[in-house]
């Protein structure tokens, strides 16, 4: 029937309007900013950088591989890589970003930077109250403004953060097991090479027996 959809929409609006006086769930609006809706887990706005522990510099997960910079469609990420290195969460020496800027005036919240990051170093934030009177510098976020602790990530995306934490724990356990196996192999090799010396009692290899040539 012509206009059926419009009628259904009006009926639903009327049900919500009158029903909201008796049923709180029918109240579809809130008195913002005093009241706020709880945002769903999947909501996203602009990216932020994750760090572990309490030090945003030492714990920053980003290794400045620049994959996100290359893949970002509007090219709003700018990274300058360090010349020196620092240990990552498994103890491996990695570079870090000396400069990591995102121009959020250009960012289109596509999340591609998050998808391509192999180090779980960048995630999408839910923060949306970002208006500023500084049109240029105010929307260019530096590493300092972008860095947020893992606890923050757990708070805004609990399910996703739990999966990431679990995977990183497995990676850490695998790295520790590999290091322990390498250490055990090294110790076994050292002990095997020391065994002939032990037989001679002075820690050195025994000299070969002298050959007596008959006259
Ligand atoms: S969300 Fe998209 S546009 Fe924004 S920084 Fe990441 S890749 Fe670039
Ligand atoms: S955020 Fe991820 S992809 Fe981007 S430079 Fe850092 S480690 Fe590489």
- Please provide the DSSP assignment of 59-99 as one string: TB------HHHHH-TT--EEEEE-SS-EE-TTS-EE--EEE
Cα 162 to ligand 1 centre (Å):
23
Ligand 2 atom closest to residue 65's alpha carbon, by position in its atom list: 8
SS3 141: strand
Q: Are strands 77-81 and 86-87 parallel, antiparallel or unpaired?
A: unpaired
Give yes or no for residue 117 CB within 6 A of ligand 1: no
Q: How far is the CA of 66 from the centre of ligand 2 (A)?
A: 6
Residue 123 host element (H or E)? strand 122-124
Top CATH class of 47-167 equals alpha beta
The per-residue pLDDT for 196 is 61
Give, in order, the Cα–Cα distances in Å from 191 to each of 18, 29, 163, 188, 205. 85, 74, 42, 5, 14
79 contacts 97 by C-beta, under 8 angstroms? yes
Instruction: Please say whether the beta carbons of 142 and 86 come within 8 A.
Output: no
175 CA distance to ligand 2 middle (Å): 21
Among the bound ligands, the one closest to the CA of 81: 2
The pLDDT assigned to 15 comes to 92
| Residues with Cβ within 8 Å of residue 179, at least 6 apart in sequence | 91
Sign of CA dihedral 57, 135, 153, 47: negative
Q: How many CB atoms lie within 10 A of CB 52?
A: 16
* pLDDT, one tens digit for every residue, the chain (215 residues): 778 999 999 999 999 999 989 998 888 888 999 998 889 999 999 999 999 999 999 999 999 999 999 999 999 999 999 999 999 998 899 999 999 999 999 999 999 999 999 999 999 999 999 988 987 788 999 999 999 999 999 999 999 999 999 999 999 999 999 999 999 999 999 888 876 655 444 444 444 444 444 44
Quick one: pLDDT at residue 24? 83
76 lines ligand 1 (CB under 6 A): yes
Which pLDDT value is given to residue 26?
A: 87
Q: Please give the distance, rounded to the nearest whole angstrom, from the Cα atom of residue 4 to the centre of ligand 2.
A: 51
Which residues approach ligand 2 with their CB closer than 6 A?
A: 62-68, 79, 116-117, 119, 121-122
């Amino acid at each position: 029937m012509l206009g059926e959809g419009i009628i259904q929409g009006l009926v639903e609006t009327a049900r919500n309007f009158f029903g909201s006086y008796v049923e709180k769930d029918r109240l579809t609006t809130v008195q913002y900013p005093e009241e706020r809706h709880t945002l769903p887990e999947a909501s996203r706005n602009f990216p932020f950088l994750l760090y572990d522990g309490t030090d945003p510099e030492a714990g920053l997960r980003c290794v400045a591989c620049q994959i996100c910079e290359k893949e970002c469609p509007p090219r709003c990420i700018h990274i300058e890589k360090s010349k020196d290195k620092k240990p990552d969460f498994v103890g491996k020496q990695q570079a870090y970003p000396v400069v990591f800027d995102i121009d959020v005036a250009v960012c289109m919240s596509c999340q591609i930077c998050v998808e391509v990051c192999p180090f779980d170093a960048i995630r999408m934030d839910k923060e949306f109250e970002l208006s500023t009177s500084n049109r240029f510098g105010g929307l260019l976020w530096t590493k300092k403004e972008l860095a947020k602790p893992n606890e923050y990530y757990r708070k805004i995306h609990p399910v996703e953060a739990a999966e990431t934490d679990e995977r990183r724990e497995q990676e850490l356990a695998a790295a520790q097991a590999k290091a322990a196996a390498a250490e055990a192999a090294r110790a076994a090799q050292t002990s095997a090479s020391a065994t002939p010396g032990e037989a001679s009692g002075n820690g050195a290899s025994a000299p070969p027996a002298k050959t007596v040539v008959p006259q």
